[in-house]
Protein backbone atom coordinates (compact mmCIF):
# COMPACT_ATOMS: atom_id res chain seq x y z
CA UNK A 1 0.00 0.00 0.00
CA UNK A 2 1.31 3.44 -0.94
CA UNK A 3 0.90 5.76 2.06
CA UNK A 4 2.53 8.68 3.79
CA UNK A 5 4.87 8.14 6.73
CA UNK A 6 3.53 9.02 10.19
CA UNK A 7 6.02 10.67 12.52
CA UNK A 8 5.30 10.42 16.24
CA UNK A 9 6.93 12.96 18.53
CA UNK A 10 6.77 10.91 21.68
CA UNK A 11 8.06 10.40 25.19
CA UNK A 12 5.40 12.59 26.87
CA UNK A 13 4.90 9.99 28.25
CA UNK A 14 6.20 6.73 26.79
CA UNK A 15 3.04 4.72 27.56
CA UNK A 16 0.87 7.25 25.72
CA UNK A 17 3.29 7.11 22.78
CA UNK A 18 3.02 3.32 22.65
CA UNK A 19 -0.77 3.56 22.88
CA UNK A 20 -0.92 5.93 19.91
CA UNK A 21 1.15 3.48 17.88
CA UNK A 22 -1.17 0.64 18.89
CA UNK A 23 -4.31 2.56 17.96
CA UNK A 24 -2.89 3.59 14.59
CA UNK A 25 -2.22 -0.05 13.81
CA UNK A 26 -5.74 -1.05 14.88
CA UNK A 27 -7.35 1.71 12.79
CA UNK A 28 -5.40 0.92 9.62
CA UNK A 29 -7.44 -1.04 7.03
CA UNK A 30 -4.78 -3.72 6.51
CA UNK A 31 -5.01 -7.33 5.40
CA UNK A 32 -1.29 -8.09 5.67
CA UNK A 33 1.97 -6.53 6.93
CA UNK A 34 2.52 -4.68 3.67
CA UNK A 35 -0.83 -2.87 4.00
CA UNK A 36 0.23 -1.08 7.18
CA UNK A 37 1.44 2.51 7.38
CA UNK A 38 5.15 3.25 7.91
CA UNK A 39 5.66 4.96 11.27
CA UNK A 40 8.77 6.61 12.66
CA UNK A 41 8.90 7.42 16.37
CA UNK A 42 11.21 9.60 18.42
CA UNK A 43 10.38 8.55 21.97
CA UNK A 44 12.32 11.07 24.04
CA UNK A 45 11.32 10.97 27.72
CA UNK A 46 14.08 13.52 28.50
CA UNK A 47 11.95 16.39 27.13
CA UNK A 48 11.52 18.74 30.13
CA UNK A 49 8.13 18.86 31.84
CA UNK A 50 5.83 21.16 29.89
CA UNK A 51 3.74 22.16 32.88
CA UNK A 52 6.70 23.01 35.08
CA UNK A 53 8.03 25.35 32.39
CA UNK A 54 4.73 27.11 31.70
CA UNK A 55 3.46 27.44 35.27
CA UNK A 56 6.64 27.51 37.35
CA UNK A 57 9.50 28.63 35.11
CA UNK A 58 11.20 25.23 34.87
CA UNK A 59 13.52 24.11 32.06
CA UNK A 60 12.34 25.05 28.58
CA UNK A 61 11.13 21.98 26.60
CA UNK A 62 11.01 23.79 23.26
CA UNK A 63 14.61 23.11 22.12
CA UNK A 64 14.19 19.36 22.74
CA UNK A 65 10.80 19.36 21.03
CA UNK A 66 12.27 21.10 17.99
CA UNK A 67 15.15 18.61 17.82
CA UNK A 68 12.69 15.72 17.89
CA UNK A 69 10.56 17.30 15.17
CA UNK A 70 13.58 17.86 12.92
CA UNK A 71 14.74 14.29 13.54
CA UNK A 72 11.37 12.95 12.41
CA UNK A 73 11.55 15.13 9.32
CA UNK A 74 15.01 13.75 8.46
CA UNK A 75 13.69 10.21 9.00
CA UNK A 76 11.14 10.76 6.24
CA UNK A 77 7.95 11.59 8.12
CA UNK A 78 5.22 13.12 5.96
CA UNK A 79 3.67 14.82 8.99
CA UNK A 80 3.94 14.74 12.80
CA UNK A 81 1.52 13.52 15.45
CA UNK A 82 2.36 14.64 19.00
CA UNK A 83 0.54 12.61 21.69
CA UNK A 84 0.70 15.24 24.40
CA UNK A 85 -2.14 17.73 24.78
CA UNK A 86 -0.17 20.18 26.93
CA UNK A 87 2.71 20.35 24.42
CA UNK A 88 0.27 21.78 21.88
CA UNK A 89 0.78 25.11 23.65
CA UNK A 90 4.03 25.21 21.65
CA UNK A 91 2.55 24.10 18.34
CA UNK A 92 2.94 27.45 16.49
CA UNK A 93 6.59 27.57 17.61
CA UNK A 94 7.28 23.95 16.63
CA UNK A 95 5.64 24.27 13.24
CA UNK A 96 8.17 26.93 12.30
CA UNK A 97 11.02 24.48 13.00
CA UNK A 98 10.06 22.01 10.25
CA UNK A 99 8.64 22.01 6.74
CA UNK A 100 6.25 19.09 7.31
CA UNK A 101 2.91 19.76 9.06
CA UNK A 102 1.82 18.85 12.57
CA UNK A 103 -1.62 17.41 13.27
CA UNK A 104 -3.34 19.78 15.70
CA UNK A 105 -4.85 17.25 18.12
CA UNK A 106 -6.72 19.94 20.06
CA UNK A 107 -8.34 21.45 16.96
CA UNK A 108 -9.24 18.01 15.56
CA UNK A 109 -10.89 17.07 18.84
CA UNK A 110 -12.86 20.32 18.94
CA UNK A 111 -14.06 19.71 15.37
CA UNK A 112 -15.30 16.25 16.37
CA UNK A 113 -17.57 17.48 19.20
CA UNK A 114 -21.28 17.81 18.46
CA UNK A 115 -22.60 18.69 21.94
CA UNK A 116 -22.80 22.35 23.07
CA UNK A 117 -21.38 21.73 26.57
CA UNK A 118 -18.49 19.40 27.42
CA UNK A 119 -16.50 18.52 30.50
CA UNK A 120 -12.71 18.43 30.25
CA UNK A 121 -10.28 16.15 32.04
CA UNK A 122 -6.74 17.36 31.39
CA UNK A 123 -3.59 18.59 33.07
CA UNK A 124 -3.58 21.77 35.11
CA UNK A 125 -1.51 23.42 32.39
CA UNK A 126 -3.91 22.46 29.60
CA UNK A 127 -6.79 23.82 31.68
CA UNK A 128 -5.08 27.07 32.68
CA UNK A 129 -3.78 27.85 29.19
CA UNK A 130 -7.35 27.27 27.93
CA UNK A 131 -6.21 25.23 24.93
CA UNK A 132 -9.57 23.51 24.64
CA UNK A 133 -11.57 26.60 25.51
CA UNK A 134 -9.95 28.51 22.65
CA UNK A 135 -10.37 25.63 20.19
CA UNK A 136 -14.01 25.00 21.12
CA UNK A 137 -15.20 28.60 21.27
CA UNK A 138 -15.42 29.08 17.45
CA UNK A 139 -17.68 26.02 17.32
CA UNK A 140 -20.00 27.43 20.00
CA UNK A 141 -18.96 24.81 22.56
CA UNK A 142 -18.72 25.60 26.27
CA UNK A 143 -15.98 23.82 28.22
CA UNK A 144 -16.44 22.94 31.90
CA UNK A 145 -13.47 22.00 34.07
CA UNK A 146 -13.28 20.32 37.50
CA UNK A 147 -13.25 22.30 40.73
CA UNK A 148 -9.83 22.96 42.25
CA UNK A 149 -9.89 19.90 44.54
CA UNK A 150 -10.99 17.61 41.72
CA UNK A 151 -8.38 19.07 39.37
CA UNK A 152 -5.67 18.44 41.95
CA UNK A 153 -6.79 14.80 42.16
CA UNK A 154 -6.73 14.52 38.34
CA UNK A 155 -3.12 15.69 38.40
CA UNK A 156 -2.20 13.14 41.06
CA UNK A 157 -3.69 10.40 38.92
CA UNK A 158 -1.95 11.61 35.74
CA UNK A 159 1.46 11.49 37.42
CA UNK A 160 0.65 8.10 38.95
CA UNK A 161 -0.11 6.75 35.47
CA UNK A 162 3.17 8.20 34.19
CA UNK A 163 4.88 6.29 36.98
CA UNK A 164 3.18 3.04 36.06
CA UNK A 165 0.67 3.08 38.92
CA UNK A 166 -3.10 2.94 38.58
CA UNK A 167 -5.66 1.28 40.83
CA UNK A 168 -9.39 0.91 41.31
CA UNK A 169 -9.56 3.83 43.72
CA UNK A 170 -8.15 6.13 41.03
CA UNK A 171 -10.66 4.73 38.54
CA UNK A 172 -13.53 5.43 40.95
CA UNK A 173 -12.25 8.96 41.58
CA UNK A 174 -12.07 9.75 37.85
CA UNK A 175 -15.60 8.46 37.37
CA UNK A 176 -16.82 10.58 40.28
CA UNK A 177 -15.11 13.72 38.93
CA UNK A 178 -16.62 13.08 35.48
CA UNK A 179 -20.04 12.57 37.09
CA UNK A 180 -19.78 15.94 38.86
CA UNK A 181 -19.04 17.58 35.51
CA UNK A 182 -22.15 15.86 34.18
CA UNK A 183 -24.21 17.23 37.07
CA UNK A 184 -23.01 20.75 36.20
CA UNK A 185 -24.30 20.38 32.65
CA UNK A 186 -21.59 18.62 30.65
CA UNK A 187 -23.28 16.60 27.92
CA UNK A 188 -20.05 14.95 26.78
CA UNK A 189 -16.58 14.32 28.20
CA UNK A 190 -13.29 15.28 26.57
CA UNK A 191 -10.31 13.17 27.61
CA UNK A 192 -7.70 15.86 27.08
CA UNK A 193 -4.64 14.13 28.51
CA UNK A 194 -3.03 11.18 26.76
CA UNK A 195 -2.24 9.46 30.07
CA UNK A 196 -5.94 9.54 30.93
CA UNK A 197 -6.64 8.02 27.51
CA UNK A 198 -5.00 4.87 28.87
CA UNK A 199 -7.58 4.43 31.63
CA UNK A 200 -10.83 6.20 30.65
CA UNK A 201 -13.33 4.75 28.20
CA UNK A 202 -16.96 5.17 27.18
CA UNK A 203 -18.21 3.26 30.24
CA UNK A 204 -16.81 5.92 32.58
CA UNK A 205 -19.25 8.69 31.61
CA UNK A 206 -22.99 8.95 31.08
CA UNK A 207 -22.68 10.48 27.63
CA UNK A 208 -20.32 10.63 24.64
CA UNK A 209 -16.59 10.50 25.35
CA UNK A 210 -14.18 12.30 23.03
CA UNK A 211 -10.73 10.80 23.50
CA UNK A 212 -8.12 13.15 22.01
CA UNK A 213 -5.58 10.34 21.58
CA UNK A 214 -8.09 8.21 19.69
CA UNK A 215 -9.02 11.15 17.46
CA UNK A 216 -5.32 11.79 16.80
CA UNK A 217 -4.86 8.16 15.73
CA UNK A 218 -7.87 8.32 13.40
CA UNK A 219 -6.75 11.55 11.76
CA UNK A 220 -3.16 10.27 11.39
CA UNK A 221 -4.36 7.16 9.55
CA UNK A 222 -6.62 9.23 7.30
CA UNK A 223 -3.85 11.71 6.46
CA UNK A 224 -1.35 8.94 5.71
CA UNK A 225 -3.76 7.17 3.37
CA UNK A 226 -4.70 10.42 1.64
CA UNK A 227 -1.03 11.35 1.29
CA UNK A 228 -0.35 8.02 -0.39
CA UNK A 229 -3.16 8.57 -2.88
CA UNK A 230 -1.75 11.98 -3.82
CA UNK A 231 1.72 10.48 -4.34
CA UNK A 232 0.56 7.66 -6.64
CA UNK A 233 1.98 8.13 -10.15
CA UNK A 234 -0.66 8.85 -12.76
CA UNK A 235 -0.65 6.78 -15.97
CA UNK A 236 0.79 8.57 -18.97
CA UNK A 237 -2.08 8.07 -21.40
CA UNK A 238 -0.26 9.95 -24.17
CA UNK A 239 2.76 7.64 -24.06
CA UNK A 240 0.49 4.63 -23.75
CA UNK A 241 -1.32 5.61 -26.93
CA UNK A 242 1.97 6.12 -28.77
CA UNK A 243 3.19 2.70 -27.70
CA UNK A 244 -0.06 1.08 -28.79
CA UNK A 245 0.09 2.76 -32.21
CA UNK A 246 3.75 1.85 -32.62
CA UNK A 247 3.09 -1.76 -31.70
CA UNK A 248 0.16 -1.91 -34.11
CA UNK A 249 2.28 -0.46 -36.93
CA UNK A 250 5.03 -2.97 -36.28
CA UNK A 251 2.48 -5.77 -36.27
CA UNK A 252 1.10 -4.57 -39.62
CA UNK A 253 4.56 -4.28 -41.15
CA UNK A 254 5.43 -7.84 -40.13
CA UNK A 255 2.52 -9.33 -42.06
CA UNK A 256 3.85 -10.80 -45.35
Q: Do 21 and 39 meet the contact criterion of CB atoms below 8 Å apart?
A: yes
Say what the alpha-carbon torsion angle 198, 199, 204, 207 is, to the nearest 10 degrees. -10
Q: How far is CA 38 from the centre of its chain?
A: 16
Catalytic residues: 84, 193
Amino acid sequence: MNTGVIGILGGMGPAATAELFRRIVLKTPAQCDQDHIPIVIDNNPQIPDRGLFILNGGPDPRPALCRSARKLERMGASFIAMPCNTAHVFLPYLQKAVRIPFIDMIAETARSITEPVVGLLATETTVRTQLYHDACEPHGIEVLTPCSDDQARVMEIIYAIKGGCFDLEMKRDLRAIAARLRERGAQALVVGCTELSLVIDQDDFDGPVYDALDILARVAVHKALQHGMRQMPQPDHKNTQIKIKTSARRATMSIP
